A and B are shown apart, each in its own frame.
Chain A
């Protein structure tokens, strides 16, 4: 048994150690497996599930990833943080002025924010015509700003490459005409690993043909030649602070302003509702672009406006400030601008959304405005290539959310019905979008504008059933463990007792026998006339009694014996031993009720109490009969040892006859202990012990049979 316990303990320890080793091994394997890319790899831009966006409005089409937003510091990341020596290259195109765009390497801990990541960024900036490289640690350190000749043009593709080997970094940009600008630095104390991604700042941008490949010193030399890169020194002042030549920072702004004159008669967007509904009025409005596809939406500080048909002079990005001149059309709840001539005025950071409730949005007051709204997902469906449709509910209002992006299958599948979502998008009340099913709908610029605030509530029917089942299983496991432990403990006690019994048999009982033989020999030697014979006889009787007592004790201490003959049998044998040797006491043992297995702990305790009670009767009560009865009832077992002897005066102290010891034993198994006696009326010792419910017991038997490969014992003791 001890070995079984030890085996189980070791198994638990080994399992824990194994789990740790597996976890550690997996991490190690991951680290070596992903230490370097295995070879040149074209990175798929289409599988947007592999990319993680931090700001921006990202869209993939025809092999090109595009950020439609002028947001400052939009990032799209992928790869493992374990990547170390590698290069990333891609074709990059800046969509607007005064910003930069490029590639991030060795990045980690990304968040939304201008420089909210640890890593390096290399790219092109059209404000000062530079190829730049810097390091972000939630703050920007610019190491390289190398002039690109003739200049960095928006709307032109450049091939940008960044390579990292150890703490050496090299960058290059190649224009369409083949002119290449390159630079390199060494950054002591560099970030040595991280994933890679795309980044733009203050302008939209496009990327295509993104490739990652392992890099070595040879690759570095191929880019910059056989020279050591200079130690990186960050610039101290913001762009434009240097005294000369400062023109380069300002020239693009001046150039743009020269063409910038706007129509000063532009109307606030909200004022369009006051136009005559009976005539087409041509109006001019100014506003920031909040959505470009499938419909152009703009917004000023008074409201939002849809421009379903427009003629932009340049590609528009979210955040662009535009001037639109067209025909105002008044609908029931909103206005639109048709046949609009759209002119880009300025690139700007996108407007932040206004947080509204569904009830507020349902009033129509936020029509065509960029809002943030929360709701619980009621239903979802994918509408072919046209995108996804979500049905949400919040308070007393239902509303739709529409997204047109493709390549988001996994993200769509991860959206669970009954989840709580936060959406950022354009609120529209036009029945063209709502189909008059809901008061309003939300146009989502990208799938990344869905944020899961909380998963489905756990109290679904399935979850509750699973929880109940799980709880029951845990209770069963707990109970099983408790019983196992108790059994192991009892077994240990019994083993120790058995060892003591053997010791007593081999030493004490043998000694008593030897002393008896010696006394017998002395008596024989002295003859029948010796004066000392009465003392010798008394000593012989005392030795005999002691020998019998020792045998009884040995028998009581041997659980294997108890197990073999059962409680009733053991009591019968014990009583028979006590009255042997000429006594006229008649012992009657009987058992009634439906016999059940008694746990070892209970049967042992009952046996020892029975021993004591029978011994007391034999020694002190001089009875004619001793009746030992066992009665099994539904909740337990009752043992009564009754005699017709002299009885005694039952006092509160219960000092004599081992009654206190019997009482304590009964308490230890939760049994009720009663003594009924009076002088001349005999004595009855009654013990009623509870037994475990039979269902659990049978389960336990089956479990034990399964676990330990032992046959269940239906006799005594368990």
Chain B
């Protein structure tokens, strides 16, 4: 007889003992079968960037994983295949909630559509860390923000442009994207710094951002073929940086028109000088800090946090520096 309290009882809810015995045996067998697959699961944190498999976002995976390993947390790392697919990103958040993950770290593709999903996450008592943009929801015990310091990035780009042009010249700004607060912060900081510190640099054209590099390439092509004098281009997004660069190569003007971009993507043109510099986000540090905050939120030890991470201006001179290589590191797996 199995050592089961039910089986020891001579009466079971008024049933005759043999019935109780039979039921007990069946229940024990069923429980034994069910518990054969039981396993103590580690808490899982969903980390959902704008997309996966890129130089911009894989370091976030590495940073988050480096902290998760030391805190006994597992990571679910997935994202839309395209960095403009907000609907898929929202679906991944909903899927993470349904699966009962312990927390969600997300880098919203757009600011406004992500408000409701994140509010729902918080309403379910699931902690969240929002990366790279502020949603307008105040931080609290369950919500923190980790962002690249876009104002600092804007200042870096402005000072680089000012230095490249010697304080005088005409520039174009591409990739302006009002739905993303972080992009707006970049743009405003860039223009404020330029106006204050380099009043001789004139913004000749401002172009809205488009989702893909080819579309941005068309924008740049039109810009370069418009006859307007352009000494430098500041591209505020990854797609606009790539599109502008392709257009400069296409028009054979990459040595003439200086290009300062944002967000790490193409590395070889920086070595060749085709792209002068790129303000890169330290997504490795962002991932680390986000997971650290998440661990605190899961264990109720974290207060409201809004942390800014300094970006780095990547140029031909520092592309192989330890600092930049650390940022570009994508080893999310444990290293022996």
Contact = CB atoms under 8 A, between A and B. Distances in A.
Contacts of B330: 236-238
Contacts of A257: 246, 249-250
Interface string B196-219: 000000000000001111110110
A352 B79 CA distance: 13
Nearest to A242: B267
B78 A349 contact: no
A246 B319 CA distance: 13
B33 interface: yes
Interface stretch (B53-61, B124-132, B137-145, B170-178): B53-61
A262 B218 contact: yes
A240 B76 contact: no
Given A72-B53, A238-B58, A485 B212 contact: no
Looking at chain A's contact residues, the main secondary structure is: mixed
A419 B269 CA distance: 52
Contacts of A271: none
Interface in A15-30: 15-17, 20, 23-24
Interface stretch (B82-90, B100-108, B303-311): B82-90
Contact of A240 (B218, B266, B325): B266
A286 interface: yes
A441 to B, nearest CB: 22
A352 B51 contact: no
B214 A288 contact: yes
A583 interface: no
Contact of A485 (B15, B52, B54, B213): B15
A12 B23 CA distance: 7
A300 B214 CA distance: 10
Contacts of B21: 9, 13
Contacts of B325: 237, 241
A236 B329 contact: yes
Contacts of B79: 113-114
Interface in A358-407: 372
Contact of B23 (A9, A240, A286, A352): A9
Most central of A11, A15, A139, A345 by chain B CB within 10 Å: A139
Given A116-B78, A300-B215, A346-B214, A236 B18 contact: no
B289 interface: no
B81 A9 contact: no
A355 B85 CA distance: 11
Most central of B32, B85, B88, B214 by chain A CB within 10 Å: B214
A485 B14 contact: yes
Contacts of A279: none
Interface string A545-575: 0000000000000000000000000000000
A232 to B, nearest CB: 11
Nearest to B87: A355
A371 B249 CA distance: 34
A140 interface: yes
B332 A20 contact: no
Interface in A263-278: 264, 266
A489 interface: yes
Contact of B333 (A71, A139, A350): A139
B18 A5 contact: yes
Contact of A238 (B211, B269, B328): B328
Contact of A10 (B15, B22, B82, B331): B22
Most central of A5, A238, A249, A301 by chain B CB within 10 Å: A238
A510 to B, nearest CB: 32
A254 B53 CA distance: 22
A8 B22 contact: yes
A161 interface: no
A435 interface: no
A537 interface: no
Nearest to B85: A352
Interface in A193-248: 201, 234, 236-238, 240-241, 243, 246-247
B269 A250 contact: yes
A321 interface: yes
A588 interface: no
Interface in B261-290: 266-269, 271-272
A2 B18 contact: yes
A352 B267 contact: no
Contacts of B22: 8-13
A300 B210 CA distance: 10
B30 interface: yes
Nearest to A116: B78
B222 to A, nearest CB: 5
A237 B14 contact: no
A313 interface: no
B268 A301 contact: no
B61 A139 contact: yes
B298 to A, nearest CB: 20
Contacts of B23: 9, 12-13
Contacts of B80: 113, 352
Contact of A349 (B16, B76, B82, B319): B82
B26 interface: yes
A237 B329 contact: yes
B225 interface: yes
Contacts of A71: 81-82
A5 B16 contact: yes
A72 to B, nearest CB: 5
B221 A264 contact: yes
A137 B331 CA distance: 12
B29 interface: yes
Nearest to B215: A301
A464 B61 CA distance: 51
Given A240-B267, A243-B271, A139 B218 contact: no
A492 interface: yes
Contacts of A137: 333
Nearest to A249: B268
A238 B26 contact: no
Contacts of A262: 217-218, 221, 250
A13 B215 CA distance: 69
B179 to A, nearest CB: 13
B226 to A, nearest CB: 9
B223 to A, nearest CB: 9
B320 interface: yes
Nearest to A142: B330
Given A23-B33, A72-B53, A243-B271, A352 B78 contact: no
A321 B210 CA distance: 14
Nearest to B22: A9
A704 interface: no
Contacts of B81: 55, 71-73, 112-114, 349
A432 interface: no
A260 interface: yes
Contacts of A286: 214-215, 218
B78 A111 contact: yes
Given A55-B81, A237-B329, A301 B18 contact: no
Contacts of B76: 138
A240 to B, nearest CB: 5
B55 A238 contact: yes
Contacts of B251: 261
A5 B218 contact: no
A137 B78 CA distance: 10
Contacts of A353: 87
B25 interface: yes
The 9 nearest A-B residue pairs measured at CB: A9-B22, A16-B26, A321-B214, A352-B85, A114-B52, A250-B268, A13-B25, A114-B53, A6-B18
Given A17-B25, A112-B88, A114-B79, 6 more contacts: A10-B18, A246-B271, A264-B222, A352-B87, A489-B16, A492-B16
26 contacts: A5-B16, A8-B19, A9-B19, A12-B26, A17-B29, A55-B81, A72-B51, A113-B79, A114-B51, A115-B77, A139-B77, A139-B332, A141-B333, A238-B54, A249-B268, A257-B250, A262-B217, A262-B250, A288-B212, A348-B212, A348-B214, A351-B82, A352-B82, A355-B87, A485-B16, A488-B19
